[in-house]
Structure formats: structure tokens, C-alpha cells
Amino acid sequence: MSEARTPAQIEADIIRRRDQLAETLDEIGVRMHPKTIIGDAKARVASTVDHTAGRAIVAVNRLVTDVKDGFRHEDGAPRPERIVPVALVAVGLVGLIVLSARRKR
């Protein structure tokens, strides 16, 4: 059989539980406050953007490295047979842009 509790023990129990309930209600109030909800949403969006941007940067770096590797031999020497045609096309495009800009004036 369990021992009977004294009125002082019961009162102490009630006070302890009331304090716990007040603490729980305060925590719920903080979590449900609009500023807290907005702050949490902003943090999730920022995290998603950072993650997506990081993945994009890695993909771009990989692409740039692949393109660079296409213009070099395995020993690191440049490959003129690939560089010269690309350079000529780039110079031609710049020339067309300059001519087009001059004609508009």
C-alpha cells in the first residue's frame, strides 16, 4: 500500500507542476510568436538558397575545369589546335559587335 501524502507534499507538488506548466506555456508563446515564425522561415529559406547556390558553384567549377582541360594536354601544355579556332571565333564576334555598335551611331 502506498503511503498517504501530507498536505505540504501535495501543495509542493501543485506548486512544482504549476511552475512547469507556466514554463511550457511561455515556451509555446515564444515558438508561436509571429517574429519567431518569420525568423524560422527566413532561416530555412536562407539555408535552402545557400545549399542551392553551393551546388551551382560546384557545378560551374566542374564545368570550367572540364573546359580548361579540353584546351590542355595531360602534361599541362596548351593545345593550339583547339585554342586558335576558339580565339578566332571570339575575335570575330567582338569585331561584329564593334561594327554593329558603330553602324547604330
Higher local confidence (pLDDT), 2 or 56: 56
Q: Which of 2-11, 14-23, 75-84, 95-104: highest mean pLDDT?
A: 14-23
pLDDT above 60 for 1: no
- pLDDT at residue 3, rounded to an integer: 82
| Whole-angstrom distance, CA of residue 31 vs CA of residue 21 | 15
Query: Is-contact 54 60, C-beta < 8 A?
Result: no
Mean pLDDT of 32-61: 94
What is the 3-state composition of the chain as percent helix, strand, coil, each rounded to the nearest 5? 85, 0, 15
Confidence band of 98 (pLDDT split at 50, 70, 90): very high
User: What residue ranges do the domains of the chain occupy?
Assistant: 76-105
pTM: 0.49
For residue 71, report the phi and psi dihedrals to the nearest 5 degrees: -100, 10
Confidence band of 2 (pLDDT split at 50, 70, 90): low
